Structure 1
């Protein structure tokens, strides 16, 4: 399932924020930490999260050193040319007819995407599903 599949909900993961929410040494290898997150998210496309039934599209917005992280069969990576937060807001705005779920702990980003009608969950919503 890719991010372009119409009609199904899309889970949009703020990769930098979610990776940064766990002090496990991610700062030594941002790209590797983002690749590990992508791999942990791979099962979400079929199952969804406890708050969102599958199937879903899973999109990870990547920025900085993690921009080169490739998509997998079930997780689409979208590189941000500038701010990852701005790219997330753009992505949400580009898909007004879909249920959009943003995973982030960033308060300002939460406010911006909720103003566009998106739902927001913190990074712990992923750990409840065994993805972290």
Structure 2
């Protein structure tokens, strides 16, 4: 499914890979943030096969929302940034303005699941949420959003 908005359950995505993230939750959040920015900056039809090809998962993507909770919030400041190759940058002067993608970091004030559902409800559809949390998946599908597991996002991140 191609989506206009992605919402990422950072705790679930980071926790799906046993790479020592538990020793440095803020650092793990920062690494995921950087990797998502790299993916968002991928040029349409010029990146890895399937990742940015016309009709691929990035074809309609305009915005990603990364929801951080607990200690991970210290790893990335809340707010919105443009992908690294935003229109107007020297290396991307020919990229159309309407193809800019943004990454918004949300610091969950309470349970991360509640902030993820709120982000999905507030997002421009179609919405895709990345989480493998079964209870959260049920809540998300009630909002009309689609859900894919953490492994699906890692597969895309590993291509760039």
In 1, Cα distance between the equivalents of 2:37 and 2:26?
Answer: 17
**What residue is the counterpart of 2:143 in the other structure?**
116
Alignment TM-score, normalising by the size of structure 2: 0.69
1:100 and 2:95 equivalent? no
How far off is 1:52 after superposition? 4.6
Gaps of 5+ in 2: 45-50, 84-102
Larger radius of gyration: 2
Partners of 2:23 and 2:154 lie apart in 1 by 22
1:62-77 equivalent positions in 2, closer than 5 A: 62-68=68-74, 69-70=76-77, 71=79, 72-74=81-83, 75-77=103-105
Q: Which residue of structure 1 aligns with residue 18 of structure 2? A: 23
Deviation at 1:131, TM superposition (A): 3.9
- Residue 48 of structure 2 aligns with which residue? none
1:20-61 CA-to-partner distances (Å, cap 9, x unmatched) read 000110000000001000101113335585545244211100
Q: Which stretch of the first structure deviates more once superposed, 8-17 or 20-29?
A: 8-17
**Contact 2:67–2:107 under 8 Å retained in 1:** yes
> What TM-score, normalized to structure 1?
0.82
- Segment drifting more, 66-75 vs 111-120: 66-75
Unaligned runs of 5+ in 1: 1-7
Which residue pairs with 2:37 in the alignment?
42
RMSD: 2.2
After superposition, the Cα gap between the structure-2 partners of 1:76 and 1:60, relative to the gap in structure 1 and judged at 3 Å, is same
